Structure 1
Amino acid sequence: MRSGRGNQNENRIFCIPAYGHTNPTLEVVKELVQRGNDVRYYSYAMMKERIEATGSEFISCDQYDPQMYLKPEDAERISTDIAFSTELLVNMTLAMDDGLIGEMTCWKPDCIVADSMAVWGKLVAFKLNVPFMSSTTTFAFNRYSAKVMKQSASQVFKMLFAIPKANRQLRRLRDKGYPVKNILSIIQNDNETNIIVYTSPEFQPYSETFSNKYTFIGPSIRETACRPEKLERKTIYISLGTVVNTRPNFYRNCIRAFAQSEYAVIMSVGVETAPESLGVIPDHFTVAQSVEQIDVLQKADVFLTHCGMNSTNEALYYGAPLLLFPQTAEQGGVAYRVNALGAGAYLKDDSPESIESGILDVLKNIFYRQAAEKISEGFHRCGGSKLAADKIEALCR
């Protein structure tokens, strides 16, 4: 495993089975491989093809992960029940312990990079005393940036009530030699850990409160051979992402809103919604279960979005203004930041009338586009995947 600079760098990457967390890392991994680094990427079968396309080695985690076997109602608890999610985290870490620790002890990596939510990667690094880099595809999180999340009092109380239960689960990790203090020491960002953040200092809320251990590299966007040409008609892009997207009535309302319009409409509805189930689709609509989002955003004039961090970064990278329709608290924080910087407006509700008026407002008021282009300029000033690779290689040395 020879790096392009003559060093031997063996890197491990850990991620969760989510496109919004995986996609930003792919250009970084590709850059590392192109420099001659050996990269093993621990992820899930659904991501295998994308990961192997970078030139890295894919290692499946499916057999270790209890989340792969959850009932739908249990899966919904992960983001709301910290005790439940901690139990799953502990179960997975211990399931991976024998094989993973044995493999890394025999062939000790020079660096471990783990998604901020793939905390088992962080725990393994700490246990083996391997240099560690966190990969944060959401906003960096501290007590200042937490203000944009706007959690309700009941949500905060529920989390605080569950912390003692979560900490009891962590005793199982300490019994296996993992240096874990409490649940907050696992989930929070701190100013002593090296962290890559996939956004710009200008877009990150309260970026001035983070230490120089944080590197804001901007969105890590897949390069395209050529930029798609804008369509003759204004183009509306609609997507609720790949997770909380089963909203057939919402998609039908979007069709009703623009059935008689002069605009081109591209709508991604997710794998759980069959386009033919949405009724008659007008000729100026393109409706599919998935689209090449990077290509679409380069020609979109407005994006009606769930405000996932990855989708938002990609849209703003190309200067596309947003109509904001967040579905979770995290997405609400992203929407709040976009709106505060003037690059998007909130969708009042999902009625055809509100969808139409919201889209037209963003389309016809040029200040939304101008604000989006300003954020885009900040993104392009960042170092992207090359800067991330520089930081990882420096950590290896």
Structure 2
Amino acid sequence: MARVLVMITPAEGHVNPSLGLVKQLVDRGEEVDYVCSEEFGTRIQQTGAKLITYPFSVDAFIHNPVLKPAEYKHHYQFVNMIVKGLIEPIIPKVMKEIENKEYDYLIYDYLMGWGGKIIAERLGIPAVCTICSFAFVEPLGSDQGWDDDDIKVRELYDDTMKVVHQLAEEFQVSVPAIDELDSHSHILKVVYTSRYFQPQAEKLDDSYIFAGPSIVPRKDAPSFPFEQLRALYPQVVYISLGTILNRDLEFYKLCFEAFRDLPVQFVLSSGQYAEMELLADNIPDNFMIKPYIPQLEMLQRVDAFITHGGMNSASEALYYNVPMVLVPMTSDQPIVANRVQELGAGIAVNKNELTAAILKAALVEVLNQAIYKQQAHVIGQSLRQAGGYTYATDAIMSRFSTIRK
């Protein structure tokens, strides 16, 4: 048995993929401490791991200007978000919570970047990085138009490195170059997708373990009247913008306008904070709207999925062979959407040029052309065959077999 420290970014799309892996480690005898925010405490404890919490705002990814989703015009914007939004506020708290504790290895989320290296170096243990997006062959935001000589880029560099120097001094670790702050140089990287779905996979070596998505039934998922889905219409389409971007009333209004007259049952997951009452008089009869939808169960019953293109949502849809219309909004979502479209499993639309007519045409195309469903099945097969959290656990425990106690 080994003692394992798990440190994952406190966000739905990062915590959820880790749960199957953590439960497998616990079931195989590893002693796991999982450090995260209280918000995810219940589902973490259900894995059998010991929960260690630190304070972190529940709505940080919505209201914190550093963490709030944005379109990155330069790689330094992404790095600045990691350093100031996650490493600076979280790593000191983690270090305080695990003071005087000993571990055999660390598993950390890729968005923690250099923060994972700080923890591993201070504890003197090896580390595994888990990646719930694509593994970035090229830096995120590196081709978006801001020149390296732009004054905004220089200000970002100075702002980021000031914090890096302060943290390096506080924890007595070496100061990395700015391009190393989001790199993952540890001996093992577990990626929650397949080599087939991963763009430019040929450029990634064997230290990248492609395990596929971690599909774990959620015990806290709400109920839903699935028997009503096809009571009036032969086809069902699910709409969700994930857990961070789901307050976009203008997008929902666009959906109502685009799909009002289609003989299709639409199911919209709005989240608890979207002010849907403001749209009450505009909701079409062919829409079912709820704050929460049991997404895994829903995706097994629908004909298409309209999504923001978050990696978790896209992977779960493809796992169940569901073609998509993707409306990428921020971060890595354009990369995910472009890859889905490139492999023929959906259509990506530009949010800045989106109209009701464009959205309707994309959905009708996906619903009526069988090739999209067929290609979704091809990707889905690669995800299902990747091995999931069982394969990821095998890889980790095999690599650290020499420290079994």
* TM-score tier (shorter): 0.7 to 0.9
Contact 1:114-1:133 at 8 Å conserved across structures: yes
After the TM superposition, which of the residue ranges 65-74 and 315-324 deviates more from structure 2? 65-74
Partner of 2:196: 202
One-letter identity of the residue aligned with 2:296: I
Distance 2:258 2:4 in 1: 49
Partner of 2:378: 374
Distance 1:27 1:95 in 2: 25
Give SS of 1:153's match. Answer: coil
Q: Post-superposition shift, 1:78?
A: 8.0
Contact 1:114-1:122 at 8 Å conserved across structures: no
Partner of 1:359: 363
Give SS of 1:138's match. Answer: coil
Partner of 2:92: 94
Distance 1:161 1:224 in 2: 43
Contact 2:61-2:68 at 8 Å conserved across structures: no
Q: Post-superposition shift, 1:237?
A: 0.7
Give SS of 2:199's match. Answer: coil
Q: 1:209 to 1:182 in 2, by over 3 A?
A: same
Partner residue of 1:182 out of 152, 162, 177: 177
Partner of 1:303: 305
Q: 1:362 to 1:67 in 2, by over 3 A?
A: closer
Give unmatched runs, 5+ long, in structure 2.
Answer: 220-225
Distance 2:58 2:299 in 1: 35
TM-score (ref. length: structure 2): 0.85
Q: 1:87 to 1:264 in 2, by over 3 A?
A: closer
One-letter identity of the residue aligned with 1:220: S
After the TM superposition, which of the residue ranges 19-28 and 340-349 deviates more from structure 2? 340-349
State yes or no: 1:325 paired with 2:318.
no
State yes or no: 1:284 paired with 2:277.
no
Cα displacement string for residues 35-83 of structure 1 (whole angstroms, at most 9, x for unaligned residues)? 22221111112111111121211111226x8995995445438875444
Over the aligned positions, Cα root-mean-square deviation in angstroms equals 2.8
Distance 1:155 1:77 in 2: 21
Partner of 2:106: 112
Partner of 1:3: none
Give unmatched runs, 5+ long, in structure 1.
Answer: 1-7
TM-score (ref. length: structure 1): 0.87
Partner of 2:349: 347
Q: Post-superposition shift, 1:376?
A: 0.7
Q: Post-superposition shift, 1:135?
A: 0.5
Distance 2:395 2:17 in 1: 16
Distance 2:398 2:93 in 1: 31
Contact 2:82-2:111 at 8 Å conserved across structures: no
Q: Post-superposition shift, 1:164?
A: 4.1
Contact 1:242-1:270 at 8 Å conserved across structures: yes
Cα displacement string for residues 147-175 of structure 1 (whole angstroms, at most 9, x for unaligned residues)? 8x674212765556523442232222332
Contact 1:66-1:91 at 8 Å conserved across structures: no
Partner of 1:396: 400
Counting only pairs closer than 5 Å after superposition, residues 1-397 of structure 1 correspond to structure 2 as 8-62=1-55, 72-76=64-68, 81=77, 82-83=79-80, 85-88=82-85, 89-100=87-98, 102-104=99-101, 108-119=102-113, 120-143=115-138, 146=139, 151-154=143-146, 158-159=152-153, 162-175=156-169, 176-190=171-185, 193-223=187-217, 231=230, 233-280=234-281, 281-348=283-350, 349-397=353-401
Partner of 1:5: none
Aligned length: 379
Distance 2:69 2:311 in 1: 21
Contact 1:217-1:383 at 8 Å conserved across structures: yes
Q: 1:193 to 1:167 in 2, by over 3 A?
A: farther
Partner of 1:4: none
Identity over the aligned pairs, expressed in percent? 29
Q: 1:244 to 1:66 in 2, by over 3 A?
A: closer
Q: Post-superposition shift, 1:268?
A: 0.9
Q: 1:252 to 1:362 in 2, by over 3 A?
A: same
Contact 1:111-1:392 at 8 Å conserved across structures: no
Q: 1:299 to 1:73 in 2, by over 3 A?
A: same
Distance 1:94 1:183 in 2: 20
Distance 2:161 2:21 in 1: 34
Distance 2:6 2:20 in 1: 13
One-letter identity of the residue aligned with 2:122: K
After the TM superposition, which of the residue ranges 67-76 and 321-330 deviates more from structure 2? 67-76
Distance 1:262 1:68 in 2: 39
Give SS of 2:268's match. Answer: strand
Q: Post-superposition shift, 1:17?
A: 1.8
Q: 1:114 to 1:67 in 2, by over 3 A?
A: farther
One-letter identity of the residue aligned with 2:206: N
Q: Post-superposition shift, 1:344?
A: 0.8
One-letter identity of the residue aligned with 1:250: F
